[in-house]
Structure formats: structure tokens, C-alpha cells
Structure 1
Amino acid sequence: MDLTGAQVLAHRAAAQGLHGDDPDAVLPLGVVDSPPKTGAAALGVRGRREDTVDARDLVRVLSLRGTPHLHRRDDLPALRRQLRPRTPRQLAAWCGAHPTPDLAHLDLVVDVLHREFPGDTATKGELSAAISPLLPEAVTPHCPTCDAHHVIENVFRLATLLAGVELEHLGAKLVFRRPTGKPDVEDPGEPALLRDYARLVGPFAKADAEKWLGAGPQDTWPDLRPVRVDGKPLLAHEDVPPAPDPPAGLLLFPRDPYLLGPRRLVADPDVAKRVWRPVGSPGALVVHGRVVGAWRHEFRGRTVTFQLTGWSKVKGAARRAIKDQAEVLAGVWGGDVLGPDVVEW
């Protein structure tokens, strides 16, 4: 199958609900929620207008790559099964520069988290301090920065998910809630996360999918077949059906699910360098499906101001759509008291 990048992006926008007809379509992938309310913003631009923070069907957890995400509560058992490392190589992906402990040590961390959770809620520091003295040095090496022994950072983050520990939705610090129920230790089953990635992102490279998953080399993949996009080889799980053009204008955070997959499909290299940075990435200004610039926002009293690169070059339907997006994001962050003011940056 031969496709153009424009066809892939049109399919992706439609599959992920960016036309506003299915705001929850993207939730099988989860949405990054760091800093807090960026997940609500991702769902808001897709048309979810209820108070996402208080939505009973959503939960905030440390999941993919150990990062705070919003997921549907009903999806958590499958998420835990598929992110649980099954091989030393997969566990090594969570250990950084530290030696990889035995898989049994991860199960021990999960068990101790579940049994020794202090109080109804606990900060990350309080929870780590409560469990680290009860664990072997294989998972609590000396940390030069803290000058203390504590659980390997991303192993701790993964273990909270596996133990059924959820996060409070708001606040600058990570605050964990006491887990309920028993940890899930079933086999992973079908690679549903990767299948959803293929379905919602479209043609992809395995390296892109594994980077998103952050769970080490994958032994099981959904059925894939080769395709060519703009003449370059990628993989697809199913046909890419025709779809309407992407929305004329979007304000997305840099880790929005729309921006997954091969970066060259959504941005030219010079634009990508300005948007995706090692630290402090701005938002992505998307016009007719592609990232054309960056944006940031700031609060001045009770007003949120959006600062965009190249705003003077955004015309017609795209300009109107960006203003609508600013209204939506202002509502997500503060309700009717905030008035968006889109300015040149």
C-alpha cells in the first residue's frame, strides 16, 4: 500500500477524535497529564467539555514511561498486564544506568507498596521512605543526589501502577492514594496497547512504538504489514481508510497523541527542533495537520495569554480555529473567568 503523509494525518486526526465527534477515542492510548491538566487539555480540544479532573471514569496514574497519564479506570487491568516486564531486558528499560534486579524483586516492591502504604495519601518522598528500608539493595541502590538508598526511580513508578496506586489529580507534587484491591499478576495476553497504537496513530516504525511504550523490547506484536508513506517504508496493522482533512488549527501539547509516530510526518526538521526540546518544550501549533510553530501560555491575574510563533502568517479558517482552541483551553484551565488573548510571540 502506498500512502501520502497527508492521508496518514487525516486518518490520525479522525481516529483520535480531533473533529470533536468522539472525544474519548484517544483514551486507549492514555493522555499525558504532566503538568496537571494537560491531559484535560488534550481531551478538551477533542470536545470533552465536562470537568475531566472530577470525571469518575478517568484515573491519573504513573503509566507509560513512568509519566502521569489519564486513563479510563476500566483500562487499568490490561494496562498493568502489558507494562509488567516479563524478561530481564524489559525490566532493564525501567532501570536506567542501574544494574537490573531480578524480576522477583519487582514483585517484591509491588507487594511492599500494597502492604505498607502509609495513610490514605502519601507524597512520593513519604511513600519511598516507607518502603525503601524494607527492600533489598538490588532495588534500593545508593543515590548520590539524595545521599540515601531508595527504590530505583522508574522501578518505583512502575511498581505504583502494578500495585494499583493512583494519583491525586491536582497539585505540583505527586500525591498517591492508598491502593484498593489486589495487584494484577495475570499474563499479558494480546498486545492490545500496541494494536491501539497502530490503529490510532496509523503507519509507524517499531522504534517509535517502543519509545512510546517505554517498556523495553517487545516480543509480541499485532499482525503488521509493510506500507510506504511518501515513499518510505513503515508498518501498518490495518488499512488506512479515507478521512476528512485534519482540523484547520490546533493547539496541542508536545506529547499529545496526535504527534506520535514518525516525527517527519508532522513537522519539518527546523520546526521540530523548536518544538521538541530536551527540557521545557513549548506547545505545538498545528495548521492543516502539520506543526508549523510553537506556542506558550501564561497567566496575568485572571487572564491567560497565548503566545504563538508565526501568528501573523496564520490566516482564514486556521486563525479562527486557533482562537476557538484558545477559548477551549482557557475553559479547561479556569472556566469562564479566563479570557484568551492570542498574541504574536
Structure 2
Amino acid sequence: MLDVSRKQVMAYRIAEHGLHRGAGDPLALAVFDLGLQDSMRDTALLGLAARSAGPVVPTTLAEDPRLTLVWSHRGAPHFHRRADLPELVASLVPLDEADALARILWQQKELAQTGLSAVDVLFTTARALRKVVTKTMSKGAASTAVTKLLPDSFSYACRGCQATHVYEQLMRVAALHGGVRLEADQSPATLAPLEDRGRVSTRADPAAASRVLERYLRLNGPAAQGDAAGFAGTAKSVLKQTWPADLAEVRVDGRRAFLPADRLAALENPPTPSLVRLLPPWDPFTQARDKSVLVPDKAYAKEVWKILGSPGALLVDGELLGTWRAKATGKRLALTISPFTPLQRAHRTAAEDEAALVATARGYDTHTVVWA
């Protein structure tokens, strides 16, 4: 069994994530194999800017006809290649009750109130969404209309909205099955029917689900089974049916983990990550589930993954060494970079260069950088 260090793992992942900025079509980046998450303002756009050799501007993702924005893994919004959608939808069909229950984030108590199986709850909601979303409409309007079509047990009293509506996670995981996508760059969230959407399919595809796990391990490996299950948003027990073949078992500083066997050579000799990047909140790199590998220091980890108001992360030569935030003030974008330890002048200069790319991607002609 191969033993590797945490440093090797970090270098391997940086390369797999395209953070060395190789030339070529950005859509060929491996991160699009799983989708580029867009949970906060411009996070997907800034994630692309951290990986793209060419210019990234506010319309780069939204106006690319090869991409579409949907609620996918864990019900989070992701940009996916349109060509990948059929397999993506198949991979998200629950394999069994445990899988469906985990995906909608319900407990047995909520499920018992419906008198249905978790799979039936999911696809009943998907069919209702399909009936409602026949044109572009706000998420709020869609939620209101869907709630009226569903049994009362599918809804809850929302304090924030001061209204009763369908469970948020249930609506999110059902949307793609119902042929519903998101409009990019719209706030509040806006839904629309997928072009050429087919019939609602309840047929599970273990092979498609397995490929999601394999791609996670390829991008964020070596990793444990629980890490892969956490990304997919499913129960660990489900992995017995979908755990990929042709995996190699390795040890990362003594911890058991897995990687596609054809990536062992790349793991043993990854390119040296001599680079500086400003990664946005929810970037695919920091979305890896084994946070102790990414940031071993618990105090630093709390700064990178805050419960509320997550900052971006400062990547320096293979380590996450700080955080950053951006605030718009009129026509200027103000960035504050907070390193955990003093940085070399060359690293600070490189970070300021990255700040300029962030400003361009956000559509600001001027910006300032403050070192905290």
C-alpha cells in the first residue's frame, strides 16, 4: 500500500483542480465533471477565474450556451455542461429509501407524516414542479404554486417567510428531476423549464451514481468513503451499491483513503504548486470533505469555514494560509486579505495581482487591497 504525505495530497489536488492555469477551453476543466458550485454571489465565476488562463468577465458563465445552472449535488446550485445533464439526472435518482431520505435531509418523523416512501415524496414533488414551472418565474412564485399542489405534510411553517411552503431541500432535489433549471445571474432566484426536458424518470442508475463518486475521488482524492458520500449528499450505507471499481487504497499520513488507480503516478509525483490564488467561498477545492487535510490547524480552519458569512481562502504554494473578503463601494471593489502568518513580498504581490482578476470578473474597473 502506498504511503503519501499530506503535502503530496495538496499538490495533487491543486493540479487536478486546474489551479496551475493551463491553457485551453475552461469547460475542459475537471471541476466541471462535478459541476461548479454557485451558492454565493459570483462564487462560480471567481472559481473559474482562479483556474482560467484567459480573461473572465461577469458574463463568462451566464452567456455560455454550453452551460446551464441547476440544483444538483446536495441541492446546491451548480453550473454543469449541458451535454452532461442526462447522466447527471440519472446519477441523482435515489437507489433506495436511505438514499432518498438522505438527499431530502428528512428524518423518519417528517416522512411518517406523509404516509409515503421517501422516493415517492421526491418524485411527487418533481411532477408538481414540472406542472408549475412551464415558463420563467421567481422561486417564490414557484414555491407557492407547488405547495398548493402537494399534500400538507410536504410543507412547513417558515418563520423567515412567515408562510407555509414546501420544504426547501425537497424542492431543490426534486427540481432537476422535474426538468427545472435556474436562471443565471438572477436575484432573487428565478426558475425556468429545461429545454427539451424529457419525462420524469424514476429509474435509478447505479453506474451513473458510481461515476460521481469516482470523479470526486479523482478530483479530491485520496479520500475516504464518508468524504465521497458527503459530497454526493447520500447515506454512507448506499455506497455499498455504488462504490467505484479500480480504486487504489493508500494511506495519507496513516489515514486510509482511496484514489482511482490510474492516478497513483500523478499522486506520487505531483507538480510543485508555486502559485498564489484567491479562492472564493464554496470553491470546489475547499469543498473537499476532509477539512483536516486542507487545513490541519483547527483555529485556522474555523476562519476558512465560518458557519455564517464564509470568506474566500488564500492559497499560497500548496497551503491555505489566509482568508479574504470583498465589498463593493460604489464603482470600486475593496478587498481585504487576512493571512494567517506573514507572507513574503512576492506572495503579497501575487495576491494583489489575483485581486485584480477578481475585480475584473466581478465587473469593477477599480479596486483596492487592504492587508489585515
Instruction: Tell me the TM-score normalised to structure 1 length.
Output: 0.91
Equivalence for 1:151 = 166
Structure 2 distance, partners of 1:264, 1:126, is 41
Aligned partner of residue 53 in structure 1, secondary structure: coil
Structure 2 distance, partners of 1:215, 1:178, is 26
The 8 Å contact of residues 133 and 180 in structure 2, kept in 1 or not, is answered as no
Which letter does structure 2 place at the counterpart of 1:4? S
Equivalence for 1:262 = 290
Equivalence for 2:176 = 161
Deviation of 1:3 (Å): 0.7
> Among 121, 132, 152, which residue is 1:116 paired with?
132
Which letter does structure 2 place at the counterpart of 1:108? T
Q: State the 4+ residue runs in structure 1 displaced beyond 4 angstroms.
A: 141-149
Structure 2 distance, partners of 1:247, 1:81, is 39
Deviation of 1:42 (Å): 0.4
Structure 2: segments with no counterpart, 5+ residues: none
Which letter does structure 2 place at the counterpart of 1:90? D
Equivalence for 1:187 = 204
Equivalence for 1:288 = 317
Structure 2 distance, partners of 1:331, 1:56, is 21
How do 1:231-310 and structure 2 match up within 5 A?
231-238=254-261, 239-241=264-266, 242-259=269-286, 260-267=288-295, 268-310=297-339
Deviation of 1:210 (Å): 1.6
Structure 2 distance, partners of 1:316, 1:139, is 56
Aligned partner of residue 255 in structure 1, secondary structure: coil
Q: Out of 80-89 and 325-334, give the one that drifted further.
A: 80-89
Equivalence for 1:323 = 352
The 8 Å contact of residues 36 and 169 in structure 1, kept in 2 or not, is answered as no
1:80 equivalent to 2:95? Answer no
Aligned partner of residue 77 in structure 1, secondary structure: helix
Listed one character per residue, the Cα deviations across residues 278-297 of structure 1 (whole Å, up to 9, x for unaligned) are 11111111111111111111
Structure 1 distance, partners of 2:316, 2:166, is 44
Deviation of 1:248 (Å): 2.1
Listed one character per residue, the Cα deviations across residues 218-248 of structure 1 (whole Å, up to 9, x for unaligned) are 3311123321112222222221512212242
Equivalence for 1:14 = 15
Could you say if the C-alpha distance between residues 138 and 91 of structure 1 is closer, same or farther in structure 2, counting changes exceeding 3 Å?
farther
Equivalence for 2:4 = 3
The 8 Å contact of residues 95 and 152 in structure 1, kept in 2 or not, is answered as no
Structure 2 distance, partners of 1:33, 1:247, is 27
Aligned partner of residue 203 in structure 1, secondary structure: coil
Deviation of 1:261 (Å): 3.9
The 8 Å contact of residues 8 and 240 in structure 1, kept in 2 or not, is answered as no
Count of residue pairs the alignment pairs up = 342
> Among 49, 52, 55, which residue is 1:49 paired with?
55
Aligned partner of residue 176 in structure 2, secondary structure: helix
Aligned partner of residue 313 in structure 1, secondary structure: coil
Structure 1: segments with no counterpart, 5+ residues: none
Aligned partner of residue 285 in structure 2, secondary structure: helix
The 8 Å contact of residues 321 and 341 in structure 2, kept in 1 or not, is answered as no
Structure 1 distance, partners of 2:34, 2:67, is 13
Identical positions, percent: 32
Structure 2 distance, partners of 1:264, 1:138, is 39
Equivalence for 2:154 = 139
